[in-house]
Amino acid sequence: MISFIRNASRGAMFLVSMAIIAMSVNVAHAKNIKKQNIVELITHTDSILVGTVSSKKDGFHQGLPYTEITLEVGQSLKGQHGPTYTFRQFGLIEPRSMGDGRVNLMVTPAGWPTYAKGEQVMLFLHKPASETGFQTTAGLTQGKFTIRGERIANGIDNDALFAGITFNGNLSKTHQDLVNQPGGSYAAEDFLSLIRMAVEENWIENGVMSDEK
């Protein structure tokens, strides 16, 4: 890693150094990140997408490592998107030989979401970073929901997803049962329909769904 930095240009060296610092901070942050409820996830996202991972690859942008994920979009619950959506997240898929004896070890930090081709997901994505364009999910693994059959769960098994939330209106029975569930996987269609309604009808802005934490 030292030789890698020494051989980089001044601009690239700065970016790589910042990446190393950011990676170290983010690893610690990922281990201690607070649990986010659904109001926080919706509020902190620029896009909410449901679809299938069609490809992933890694590379470098301005000296920074990334993994690029392409999603075949089935539903856009927040934001306007076409049939596919591609974004880049910090970190390589796996350590990469640089061809001169050096190995770049800057892989996706521990605690960040990872992706597999063919995986069905629901993603609560932050706005892309202004400098790099990199993008990841709100709450890291909390903002990536994996759909398996008819069930859906995020990286912490939906723990505390509805904690501290008040609904100032009448929910359907299926939605009320979902909200009352303390954790564990949800019925996927029920969860997707609740999020779709919350976004389309502006539940947060209109006070129908509020965070009491």
Grouping H, G, I as helix, E, B as strand and the rest as coil, residue 195 is helix
Q: Which two tokens stand for residue 25?
A: 């901070």
The whole model's pTM is what? 0.83
User: Range of 163's domain?
Assistant: 2-211
What number of helices (H) and strands (E) belong to the chain?
Answer: 5, 11
Q: Where are the beta strands (DSSP E) in the chain?
A: 47-61, 64-78, 84-90, 96-97, 103-104, 120-125, 144-148, 151-154, 165-167, 186-187, 209-211
pLDDT at 213: 63
When divided into structural domains, the chain yields a total of 1
Question: Are the CB atoms for 128 and 134 separated by under 8 Å?
Answer: yes
Q: What does the pLDDT profile of the chain (213 residues) look like in tens digits?
A: 433 433 444 444 444 554 554 444 444 444 557 899 999 999 999 999 999 999 999 999 988 999 999 999 999 999 999 999 999 999 999 998 888 888 899 999 999 999 999 999 999 999 999 989 999 999 999 999 999 999 999 999 999 999 999 999 889 999 999 999 989 999 999 999 999 999 999 999 999 999 886
What is the C-alpha separation between 86 and 89, in angstroms, rounded? 10
Which residue is listed with tokens 């008040």? 166
Following CA atoms 43, 139, 46, 16 in sequence, which dihedral angle do they give, to the nearest 10 degrees? Answer: 140
The confidence score (pLDDT) of residue 32 equals: 59
**C-alpha span between 159 and 185 (Å, rounded):** 9
